[in-house]
């Protein structure tokens, strides 16, 4: 489809140098001021490309329109990608392009302990001959999800410069805070104005996802009994010790370290406090609601046992719904999934479906009534210093979007 891969690469390399980490402790939207830098850049670039209806909302959503070029009436579709990166590592990458990767180990120069090899890195062998992009070893690359951002921008640029390609109205949406499960909570669906949508936030080439975890968060607050440690016998109840006992009571077989495929997990992500007051935070994940309920029950059981062991302590649990498995809705109308699969085939890619051991903004959108499967971008080893992507996989993702736009306009649905 003669996509401009030089433009695609240039965009990706520029975007990943902007630190856009989100912050789960912040109640703002976006949760961090640094995200505004990329959001404002995208707003400006979309205006320069000639997109219509470009706006940056008060909550940090960049919206725009690629006007229809088809005489036929087609559903309005949306392409979405999130600008934030995970909070666990710095996000201002120094990207390195390993041209025509030859299969030898990739040693990241700023931390040589961070090494990618075909023996230990899934899918890297498949990338031999391609242009592999990494960071330098001490930061995220940010392919999650700046690969998606670059793919959407590249596909939008191609359609705006080639009005002879028939397609319906396409809405674009770049959003903050996906990594903290709040990516679409402030988006006005009427303002977006789409009937179907796609997130560009997937992994290996050909992956078309319509199933994600269902997710909740849990916060356990433990209030002990204060006393001077010199005279604490039979008086003090140490909240930190109870917090440690709470975490130790979790079965390892329910941890992320010991689960895969369709297994759910309970994952402690933070512990803070003092001898008098401690807070534990968890994320709970399962593909089925019954499994999620079982995770709730396990935490409640541990809390009850600790209350019985230390009746002077106060232990409280607060559960917060984050997102739900989008399969529950998409399986009732698989048209957007089937068209994405056919678009991938037309781009020369073999599509496949697999559940995501995580969530996407599509989980929220689908639950709210906007069917939103997820399309691959080629990102790998995300949330780590070893994160990588290939230019060729991003190219195939963008070509999939171009074919997808034409399929919706053709009436193939």
Q: Which residues are catalytic?
A: 84, 178
Please state, in angstroms and rounded to a whole number, the distance separating the CA atoms of residues 240 and 60: 38
DSSP H or E run through 143? helix 143-161
CA gap 319, 179 in Å, rounded: 19
Supply 30's token pair: 């976006």
Q: 91 with 142: CB under 8 angstroms?
A: yes
d(CA 391, CA 397): 10
Hey, CA dihedral for 172, 175, 181, 115, is it positive or negative?
positive
Cβ neighbours of residue 365 closer than 8 Å, sequence gap 6 or more: 80, 184, 187, 189, 197, 199, 371, 372
| Among 2, 191, 163, CA closest to 68 | 163
**CA separation for the pair 331, 354 (Å, rounded):** 14
């Amino acid at each position: 489809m003669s996509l401009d891969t030089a433009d695609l690469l240039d965009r990706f390399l520029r975007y990943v140098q902007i630190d856009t980490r989100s912050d789960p402790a912040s109640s703002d939207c976006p949760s961090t001021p640094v995200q505004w830098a990329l959001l404002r850049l995208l707003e400006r670039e979309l205006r320069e490309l000639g997109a219509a209806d470009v706006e940056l909302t008060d909550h940090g959503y960049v919206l725009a329109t690629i006007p229809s070029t088809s005489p036929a009436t087609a559903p309005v579709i949306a392409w979405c990608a999130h600008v934030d990166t995970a909070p666990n590592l710095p996000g201002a990458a120094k990207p390195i392009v390993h041209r025509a990767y030859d299969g030898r180990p990739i040693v990241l120069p700023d931390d040589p302990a961070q090494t990618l090899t075909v023996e230990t890195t899934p899918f890297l062998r498949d990338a031999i001959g391609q242009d592999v992009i990494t960071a330098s070893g001490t930061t995220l690359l940010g392919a999650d999800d700046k690969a998606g951002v670059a793919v959407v921008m590249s596909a939008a640029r191609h359609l705006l410069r080639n009005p002879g390609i028939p397609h319906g109205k396409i809405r674009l949406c770049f959003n903050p805070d996906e990594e903290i499960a709040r990516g679409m909570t402030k988006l006005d669906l009427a303002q977006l104005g789409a009937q179907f949508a796609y997130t560009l936030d997937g992994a290996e080439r050909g992956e078309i996802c319509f199933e994600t975890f269902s997710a909740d968060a849990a916060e356990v607050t433990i209030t002990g009994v204060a006393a001077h440690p010199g005279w604490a016998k039979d008086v003090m109840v140490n909240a930190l010790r109870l917090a440690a006992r709470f975490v130790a009571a979790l079965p390892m077989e329910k941890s992320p370290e010991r689960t895969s495929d369709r297994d759910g997990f309970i994952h402690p992500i933070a512990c803070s406090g003092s001898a008098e007051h401690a807070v534990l935070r968890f994320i709970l994940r399962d593909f089925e609601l019954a499994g999620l309920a079982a995770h709730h029950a396990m935490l409640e059981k541990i809390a009850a046992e600790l209350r019985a062991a230390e009746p002077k302590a106060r232990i409280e649990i607060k559960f917060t719904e984050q997102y739900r498995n989008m399969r529950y809705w998409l399986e009732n109308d698989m048209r957007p999934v089937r068209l994405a699969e056919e678009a991938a085939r037309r781009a020369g890619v073999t599509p496949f479906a697999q559940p995501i051991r995580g969530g996407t903004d599509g989980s929220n959108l689908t639950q709210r009534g906007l069917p939103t499967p997820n399309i691959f971008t080629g990102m790998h080893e995300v949330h780590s210093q070893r994160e990588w992507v290939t230019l060729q996989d991003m190219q195939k993702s963008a070509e999939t979007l171009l074919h997808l736009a034409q399929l919706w306009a053709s009436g193939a649905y």
